[in-house]
A and B are shown apart, each in its own frame.
Chain A
Amino acid sequence: QIGSLGGGCMSGGGNDIQWCFSQVKGAVDDDVAEADIISTVEFNHSGELLATGDKGGRVVIFQQEQENKIQSHSRGEYNVYSTFQSHEPEFDYLKSLEIEEKINKIRWLPQKNAAQFLLSTNDKTIKLWKISERDKRPEGYNLKEEDGRYRDPTTVTTLRVPVFRPMDLMVEASPRRIFANAHTYHINSISINSDYETYLSADDLRINLWHLEITDRSFNIVDIKPANMEELTEVITAAEFHPNSCNTFVYSSSKGTIRLCDMRASALCDRHSKLFEEPEDPSNRSFFSEIISSISDVKFSHSGRYMMTRDYLSVKIWDLNMENRPVETYQVHEYLRSKLCSLYENDCIFDKFECCWNGSDSVVMTGSYNNFFRMFDRNTKRDITLEASRENNKPRTVLKPRKVCASGKRKKDEISVDSLDFNKKILHTAWHPKENIIAVATTNNLYIFQDKVN
């Protein structure tokens, strides 16, 4: 089943969603500071918190305001909750190489107590951060003054019990665990297991299993490094644990395959339990076939029954019970197929787009160029192209659907392929786990859209 290219529009009547601009975060100027480039976006399990990571190694967490019951025309806004420097640039003296501080992925742990926990990773090191609130402070110590100076014990004539008094809310982030020195290659994925005790980290050639409490040891569960590096033809591009089965995970490759592994089968999961691969379409074969088949992201559905993969031109939905082909394929920007040579030349063909599911697994979303992003409704088979742009976007304005004119006469309001800005790419998007609120990252801005609430 192929999703139509902009044939059906998702906005308009009935149950269709109308997406509205809500907020945009980040600098306004066109001059993008390299450190501000957003490199990952992730909602937490309740959707109340939204984390972004950037190339400068910083994590910014936004919190949704509690709904204002009086002004119920929109959901709560997201405002900055905490900002901290997660990773710093490092220098590997042995190889004379810099290790970038760019945050590649953030994953939230489910909330167990008052504090929030997340994992953030750069190319080499994963860190567990605790984000906690402090809105009370103890006052009335016997041996200390209010400013912290120690009192002379001889001046103490009475004793009192210190009490907690309210203070301005302070949000503190502290690193609780640092998981280092386990990856020779660049980490591309982290995924928390459904047991909430272990997690995996994947680099180009290996996947390691960690226990959240233990930092000095990790278990290697996948290793595809050939004995002779000259024989290397395939790398790992993404990996994820199954949302419900704590022994199952998948990893995708640069050759367009997905392997599902069962950790109960053996300690080293080099032999997959299932191999998902779609046979190549011989009519579309070219020198670029392999590159565009490389999978840039893999995500399980919330139900755990399906998984979605993103390659350069399309999004595919796979049923875990069927290995030989996807059950659904959606073309993201098929008009680029005839431009692959140019996109290879300017390196855009290597861009790694991510994808995400909505809370009910009925709609999937992914980014494209020109600050466009696409949504595909799996039930109605309709799709929509929207743009993340500051122009003409006031809060609660409904987004206008966009259309790219592949060839021939360009209609009014359509954009021709040649006018697309390939520097404006949307690689990272996230969908609120429960509501129709989405976060879309352009190069250095974070856009929040939500559906129109009456």
Chain B
Amino acid sequence: MFARGLKRKCADHEEDMGGALAGFRAVPSYSLQRQSLLDMSLVKLQLCHMLVEPNLCRSVLIANTVRQIQEEMTQDGTWRVAAPQSTGRAPLDRLVSTEILCRSMREQDGVHPAPGMGDDHVLGPGSELSTVTSAQTPRDPQNSVWEMDSPRENRGNFQKSLDQIFETLETRNPSSAEELFSDMDSSYYDLDTVLTGVVSRAEPGPCDGLQGLPPVATPASSSSCKSDLGELDHVMEILVET
């Protein structure tokens, strides 16, 4: 949904910028590249959110990247002339990833106000989980297609998903139990709930002409992620119905 807002804004943005951005129109738009990076980062956060024991360093680094992008997007009235060249060229298939996100967001229409550029309502750590859980989150039709993982891992991840939900739903009590469950940053979870129903791997478009680059394949984790998203959906439905 923020993706959808951005797409709309993007077209306006480029038209509005006109002269200032004229030099940049030749290069695949910086804001599109940035959006793609944001999408990729959010998917990564989800993936590591669902792993059995997420690597905290990696999660923190990705979350910081998301925050950076977010900060920059909120400040975008003041245009920075130096475009980071490291994001490289962005081929058109990157737009597919945005498209996928947009599609799932539309299924949750009416839940959130569509944010414009710079509205970090959804991404902010202060988002109330209760707002999301009271929403109608339709089961993603792709759930049925996802394979189920080994039962134990499923149970473990399902339990962890439950833990995360309970942690944010309950008022924080200073207790050792909180200590155990507070490992996960609840703001990660907010990003998760927003993106519920998203196919685990957004179509990865190579940022550069690195055709020969073999992706580091982690089929096990992505399939467990898919089934975990299914579990999360299921849990959300239970909570909504009670």
Q: Does A285 contact B (CB under 8 A)?
A: yes
**Which B136-175 residues have a C-beta within 8 angstroms of A?**
155-157, 159-160, 163
Chain B residues closer than 8 Å to A290, beta-carbon distance: 61, 64-65, 68
Chain A 313-354 against B: per-residue CB contact (8 Å), 1 yes, 0 no?
000000000000000000000000111111011111010000
Kindly identify which residue among A205, A287, A339 contacts B68, using a CB–CB cutoff of 8 Å: A287
Complexed CA–CA distance, A127 and B93 (Å): 50
**Which B43-95 residues have a C-beta within 8 angstroms of A?**
44, 52-53, 55-58, 60-61, 63-65, 67-69, 82, 84-88
Q: Does B216 contact A (CB under 8 A)?
A: yes
How far does the Cβ of B211 sit from chain A's closest Cβ, in whole Å? 7
Chain B residues closer than 8 Å to A419, beta-carbon distance: 212
Kindly identify which residue among B60, B85, B87, B184 contacts A233, using a CB–CB cutoff of 8 Å: B60
Q: CB distance A291 to B61 under 8 Å?
A: yes
| Known A96-B160, A418-B213: A342·B207 in contact at CB below 8 Å | yes
Residue of A at shortest CB range from B167?
A229
Kindly identify which residue among A233, A338, A340 contacts B64, using a CB–CB cutoff of 8 Å: A233
Kindly identify which residue among A98, A341, A350 contacts B58, using a CB–CB cutoff of 8 Å: A350
Chain A residues closer than 8 Å to B214, beta-carbon distance: 346, 421-423
Q: Does A95 contact B (CB under 8 A)?
A: yes
**Which A336-381 residues have a C-beta within 8 angstroms of B?**
337-342, 344-348, 350
Chain B residues closer than 8 Å to A204, beta-carbon distance: 56-57
Q: CB distance B125 to A230 under 8 Å?
A: yes
Chain A 58-102 against B: per-residue CB contact (8 Å), 1 yes, 0 no?
000000000000000000000000000000000000111111100
Complexed CA–CA distance, A232 and B160 (Å): 20
Q: Does A301 contact B (CB under 8 A)?
A: no
B: number of interface residues (CB 8 Å): 51
Q: Does B28 contact A (CB under 8 A)?
A: no
Q: CB distance B37 to A98 under 8 Å?
A: no
Q: CB distance B160 to A254 under 8 Å?
A: no
The contact size tier of chain A is 35 or more
Q: Does A237 contact B (CB under 8 A)?
A: yes
Kindly identify which residue among A94, A95, A235, A285 contacts B56, using a CB–CB cutoff of 8 Å: A235
Q: CB distance B212 to A418 under 8 Å?
A: yes
Chain B residues closer than 8 Å to A344, beta-carbon distance: 37, 40
Complexed CA–CA distance, A338 and B56 (Å): 26
Q: CB distance B210 to A418 under 8 Å?
A: yes
Q: CB distance A97 to B56 under 8 Å?
A: no
Residue of B at shortest CB range from A425?
B216
Residue of A at shortest CB range from B216?
A346
Complexed CA–CA distance, A99 and B82 (Å): 45
Q: CB distance A235 to B53 under 8 Å?
A: no
Q: CB distance A254 to B86 under 8 Å?
A: no
Q: CB distance A98 to B53 under 8 Å?
A: yes
Kindly identify which residue among A229, A417, A422 contacts B216, using a CB–CB cutoff of 8 Å: A422
Residue of B at shortest CB range from A205?
B56
Complexed CA–CA distance, A421 and B52 (Å): 28
Q: Does A157 contact B (CB under 8 A)?
A: no
Which residue, of B56, B87, B179, B183, has the highest number of chain A Cβ atoms within 10 A? B56
Q: CB distance A339 to B60 under 8 Å?
A: no
How far does the Cβ of B99 sit from chain A's closest Cβ, in whole Å? 18
Q: CB distance B88 to A229 under 8 Å?
A: no
Residue of B at shortest CB range from A349?
B61
Kindly identify which residue among B55, B61, B210 contacts A186, using a CB–CB cutoff of 8 Å: B55
Residue of A at shortest CB range from B156?
A96
How far does the Cβ of B29 sit from chain A's closest Cβ, in whole Å? 15
Q: Does A294 contact B (CB under 8 A)?
A: yes
Chain A residues closer than 8 Å to B87, beta-carbon distance: 286-287, 341
Q: CB distance A341 to B186 under 8 Å?
A: no
Complexed CA–CA distance, A74 and B173 (Å): 66
Q: A229-B184, A235-B56 are in contact. List 17 more A-B contacts (CB 8 A).
A: A184-B179, A184-B183, A204-B57, A230-B185, A233-B64, A254-B60, A285-B84, A286-B84, A287-B65, A288-B86, A290-B64, A290-B65, A291-B61, A338-B208, A341-B207, A345-B204, A423-B216
Contact sample, A vs B, 17 pairs, CB 8 Å cutoff: A96-B157, A97-B53, A98-B52, A186-B53, A230-B185, A230-B186, A233-B67, A254-B57, A288-B65, A294-B61, A338-B85, A339-B207, A339-B208, A347-B44, A350-B58, A418-B213, A423-B214
Q: Which A residues have a C-beta under 8 Å from some C-beta of B?
A: 94-100, 123, 184-186, 204-205, 229-230, 232-235, 237, 254, 285-288, 290-291, 294, 337-342, 344-348, 350, 417-419, 421-423
Please name the 5 residue pairs, one residue from A and one from B, whose CB atoms are nearest each other, closest first. Answer: A341-B207, A286-B86, A286-B84, A96-B159, A96-B156
